[in-house]
Chains A and B, each alone.
Chain A
């Protein structure tokens, strides 16, 4: 389902990803953890080409692309890879000039060329799924952070992507709103949605993920099932990072 090979990314002289190899089968959940600046968000953004890798290969669903320094990818390849995934952002990024329903309808109509009616039907069922059927006509500024993020999840699922990508989905939320968002993500995991989640919440990662990678300084320093990574970390970097969290 997801396969990364030798992924490199640098901003100028600063190497952010220094050769990432990774595989995730369909229906599994991957959690990416690690200290800030370790490259986890960049890695996630390379999966839908919001950041274009310098080197390496990305396979997502039925599309695989390889990257070489100095070679610009045709935009239609970029689009075909992007259409394999939906993304949920830390700061929601809902379209403020559209209602919750319109946010979910938009790409179905402009990108997928669906009829408005069909798009609205799907949007309504997605809103119901995230528990916000009654908020269809609300504008984002009338919704709490937790509600906005649930609409954003529904929007990311609107085009029936193979994979959902989450970039610290609860980091911008007040503590009391975190749980409602996590609940939706857990429910999706139970339904067999393939997901990649960048998170700071270790307990959540342990609970929801099938596979955890711990990143540090552009490398994957530890990976495996959550109980292995959290209980018996092998690398000294992982031991250090996890013990600091436990304090």
Chain B
């Protein structure tokens, strides 16, 4: 490796890391949080809402899971302006990722709710709780523990998927790397470098995930 190449690596490291911390991670956190809210609402609608709403939720999950995330982002960012709706890259990315987490997450949440034994509902009902009270106080807290491992995986997937936002011109970490490549003509070096930073992020996250899971394991719930 030439001195020049080493120079390029060290010069681009901090800007890349910074782009990760300032753009990629917030994009991931915001989309995931909003997506989780959407996932819980969608799961509850599919399980318990009025019958006319259930097909709406099913349709949403079907469309999002059945089409590529990249295509969805393109429709939001490049497609919607032609019907008079122009959304900036950041917001487009947030919308796209939120819808995605909402759809996949709703299946995880739904499965977790269904997995709670019927006896828990019956015990809550026998104490005079309404369905909403039983859900909020008894069922959802137990379901939440069940969802930690699969949702942890979704979170790490999302962190990597945010690189797709580069395709709709949002300058997150990967787009930043592309710009550096355009300037330096060192694709191998810089793409490997950015890959390593993603690896660093996801390793930290899976370590955190393991700690949370262990802690949940120790505190109660057989």
Contact = CB atoms under 8 A, between A and B. Distances in A.
Interface of A: 48, 50, 75, 79, 82-83, 85-87, 89, 91, 93-97, 106-107, 110-111, 139-141, 155-156, 158-159, 165
B128 A83 contact: yes
A93 B124 CA distance: 9
Contacts of A83: 128
Nearest to B131: A75
Given A50-B122, A95-B120, A75 B130 contact: yes
B126 A87 contact: yes
B72 to A, nearest CB: 36
B145 interface: yes
A78 to B, nearest CB: 9
B128 A111 contact: yes
B128 A159 contact: yes
Given A96-B142, A97-B141, A82 B221 contact: no
Contact of B133 (A50, A111, A156): A111
B37 interface: no
Q: Main secondary structure on chain B at its contact with chain A?
A: helix
A86 B126 contact: yes
Name the 8 nearest CB pairs between A and B, nearest first.
A107-B127, A139-B220, A93-B123, A87-B126, A141-B222, A93-B119, A83-B128, A111-B128
B133 A110 contact: yes
Given A93-B120, A139-B221, 17 more contacts: A48-B125, A50-B122, A79-B128, A79-B130, A85-B126, A89-B123, A93-B119, A93-B122, A95-B123, A95-B142, A97-B220, A97-B221, A139-B219, A155-B123, A156-B127, A158-B127, A159-B127
Nearest to A84: B128
16 contacts: A50-B126, A79-B128, A79-B130, A86-B127, A87-B123, A94-B123, A96-B221, A106-B138, A107-B127, A107-B129, A110-B129, A110-B137, A111-B127, A155-B123, A159-B127, A165-B126
Contacts of A97: 141-142, 145, 220-221
Contacts of A141: 220-222
Nearest to B221: A96
A89 B122 contact: yes
Nearest to B145: A97
A82 B128 contact: yes
Most central of B117, B122, B126, B141 by chain A CB within 10 Å: B126
A97 B141 CA distance: 8
A110 B35 CA distance: 29
A94 to B, nearest CB: 7
Given A95-B138, A97-B220, A140-B222, A82 B123 contact: no
A79 B132 CA distance: 13
Given A89-B119, A110-B137, A96 B220 contact: yes
